């Protein structure tokens, strides 16, 4: 039996993935910094211990963490059949005042960690001629977003890497999907210091993302848009000038961010 590895499993969308896979009695490796939250979650969703759930507390901001996660699985002979790269965060605010350590951490967690993690586990999946990768991006990754510039750029990275891997791996039995949600009701916005209630766009719940992602994985659908609106916002970009796309993105983003940043 293979395991599902979920990063960012302690809260929000990743936690919802973990709950859904627990309902399906899947064996899992859960990754996030907060070990206590992961342990509470494992106990809550798997009270009878039917599934084999491992907690691998790691800070993906540390460049060595993907290797440690890989070693953790290898030493315990946990064969990873599905990776869900969900860990990520953003900061809203003027780029010139963004703390340099936050900038570097965001690049590391949102892009480098997932890219290296996939690289570690991919040979095992290819050897099995079976595997899946779900990468969580955002509608924000389809264009630059003023005052969310680095976050949007990291999400673009996830989209283009996923597109390349989808094409490269489709004949090797590996499914690769990239999920592109709009606003989802999680703790993300508090950490990002942004206010979705200041956007005219609706806010969905994490279950909508998880349902769409699993459906997309089964069909090996490259781009997964959890709602029709997410799809429409990206699809319409084909028919308008790029500058209009950028202006619209800046308008739709919750631009009122906390003062002092």
Q: Does 89 bind ligand NAP (CB under 6 A)?
A: yes
Pull the structure tokens for residue 258: 């906390």
- Of 180, 227, 178, which is closest to residue 202 (Cα–Cα)? 227
Q: How far is the CB of 15 from ligand NAP (least distance, A)?
A: 7
59 vs 102, beta carbon nearer ligand NAP: 59
How far apart, in whole angstroms, are the C-alpha atoms of residue 182 and residue 204?
A: 8
Asked whether position 187 contacts ligand NAP by CB under 6 A, the answer is yes
Contact flag: residue 134 with ligand NAP (CB under 6 A): no
> Which phi and psi (to 5°) does residue 5 adopt?
-100, 120
Does the footprint of ligand NAP cover residue 111 (CB under 6 A)?
A: no
- Of the candidate residues 28, 55, 60, 73, the single one contacting ligand NAP (CB under 6 A): 60
Catalytic residue flag (residue 151): yes
Q: Which of 3, 70, 72, 151 is catalytic?
A: 151
Contact positions with ligand NAP (CB under 6 A) in 206-245: none
Rounded to whole angstroms, the Cα distance separating 108 from 86 reads 13
Which structure tokens are listed for 17?
């993935």
Residue from 23, 25, 34, 205 in contact with ligand NAP (CB under 6 A): 34
Tell me if 5 sits within 8 A of 73, measured CB to CB: yes
Cα four-point dihedral sign 130, 6, 145, 184: positive
Q: Considering beta carbons, is residue 120 or 172 the nearer one to ligand NAP?
A: 120
177 binds ligand NAP per the rule CB under 6 A: no
| 42, 51, 109, 178: residue in contact with ligand NAP (rule CB under 6 A) | 109
Site for ligand NAP (CB under 6 A): which residue of 191, 198, 242, 256? 191
- Closest approach, Cβ 146 to ligand NAP, in A, equals 17
195 binds ligand NAP (CB under 6 A): no
With CB under 6 A as the rule, give the number of residues binding ligand NAP.
29
Q: Contacting ligand NAP (CB under 6 A), which of 32, 83, 234, 245? A: 32
Q: Is 181 in the site for ligand NAP (CB under 6 A)?
A: yes
User: Does residue number 136 form part of the binding site for ligand NAP (CB under 6 A)?
Assistant: yes
Cα 72 to Cα 79, 162, 187: the distances in Å are 11, 25, 28
Under the rule (CB under 6 A), what is the footprint of ligand NAP? 8-14, 32-34, 37, 59-61, 86-90, 109, 136, 138, 181, 183-184, 186-188, 191
Active-site residue list: 151
């Amino acid at each position: 039996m293979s395991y599902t590895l979920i990063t960012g499993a302690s809260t929000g969308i990743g936690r919802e993935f973990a709950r859904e896979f627990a309902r399906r009695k899947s064996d899992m490796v859960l990754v996030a910094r907060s070990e206590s939250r992961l342990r509470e979650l494992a106990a809550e969703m798997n009270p009878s211990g039917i599934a084999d759930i491992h907690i691998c507390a790691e800070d993906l901001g540390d460049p060595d963490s993907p290797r440690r996660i890989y070693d953790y699985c290898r030493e315990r002979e946990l064969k990873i059949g599905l990776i869900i790269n969900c860990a990520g965060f953003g900061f809203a605010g003027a780029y010139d005042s963004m703390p340099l350590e936050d900038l570097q951490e965001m690049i590391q967690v949102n892009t480098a960690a997932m890219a290296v993690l996939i690289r570690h586990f991919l040979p095992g999946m290819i050897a099995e001629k079976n595997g899946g990768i779900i990468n969580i991006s955002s509608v924000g990754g389809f264009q630059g977003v003023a005052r969310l510039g680095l976050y949007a750029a990291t999400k673009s990275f996830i989209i283009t890497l996923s597109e390349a891997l989808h094409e490269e791996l489709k004949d090797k039995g590996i499914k690769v999907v990239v999920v592109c949600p709009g606003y989802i009701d999680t703790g993300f916005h508090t950490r990002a210091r942004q206010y979705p209630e200041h956007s005219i766009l609706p806010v969905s719940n994490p279950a909508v993302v998880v349902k769409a992602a699993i459906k997309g994985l089964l069909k090996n659908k490259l781009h997964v848009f959890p709602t029709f609106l997410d799809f429409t916002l990206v699809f319409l970009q084909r028919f308008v000038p790029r500058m209009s796309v950028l202006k619209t993105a800046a308008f739709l983003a919750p631009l009122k961010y906390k003062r002092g940043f």
